[in-house]
Chains A and B, each alone.
Chain A
Amino acid sequence: MTSVIEISPAKPVARTFRASQALERFVVPVLLIAGWEAFARSGYLPPALLPAPSAVLHALGDWIFGFDETTQTYSGHWLRDAFASGLRVFGGFALASVLGILAGVAIGWSRLFEKTLEPTLQMLRPIPPVSWIPLAIIWFGIANKPAIFLVFLGAIFPVLMNTIHGVKTVDHNLVRAGAMMGATERQLLASIVFPAALPSIFSGLRIAIGSAWMLTVTAEMVAVGYVLWDSYYFLRYDLVLAAMISIGLLGYLSDLGLKAIMARVLHWQSATTVQGRVG
Chain B
Amino acid sequence: MAAIELRNIVKIFADPKRGRELLTLDNIDLDIDANDFVCLLGPSGCGKSTLLNIIAGFENSTSGQALVDGKIIERPGSDRGVVFQQPTLMPWLSAIDNVAFSLKLKGVAKQERQRRAMEFIDLVGLRGFEHHHPAELSGGMNQRVGIARALLMNPRVILMDEPFAALDAQTKLEMQEELVAIWQRHRCTIVFVTHSVDEALVLGNKIVVMTRRPGRIRESVTFDLPRPRDITSPEFNDAKRRVLALIRGESTRSAQVA
Contacts and interface: CB of A to CB of B under 8 A. Distances in A.
Given A268-B133, A274-B136, A182 B105 contact: yes
Contacts of B89: 177
A137 interface: no
B128 to A, nearest CB: 10
B86 interface: yes
A174 B149 CA distance: 13
Interface string B49-88: 0000000111000000000000000011110111010101
Interface string B160-176: 00000000000000000
Interface of A is mostly: helix
B91 A176 contact: no
Contacts of B133: 268, 271
A274 B132 CA distance: 8
A187 B105 contact: yes
Interface residues of B, number: 31
A33 B32 CA distance: 78
Contacts of A266: 92
A180 interface: yes
A181 interface: yes
A269 B91 contact: yes
Interface residues of A, number: 24
B80 to A, nearest CB: 7
Contact of A182 (B88, B93, B106, B137): B106
A202 B224 CA distance: 55
A177 B105 contact: no
Interface of A: 171, 173-174, 176-183, 187, 191-192, 195-196, 198, 266, 268-269, 271-274
Interface of B: 56-58, 75-78, 80-82, 84, 86, 88-93, 101-102, 104-106, 132-137, 149, 153
Those 4 A-B pairs whose CB atoms lie nearest each other, nearest first: A181-B102, A182-B78, A179-B76, A268-B92
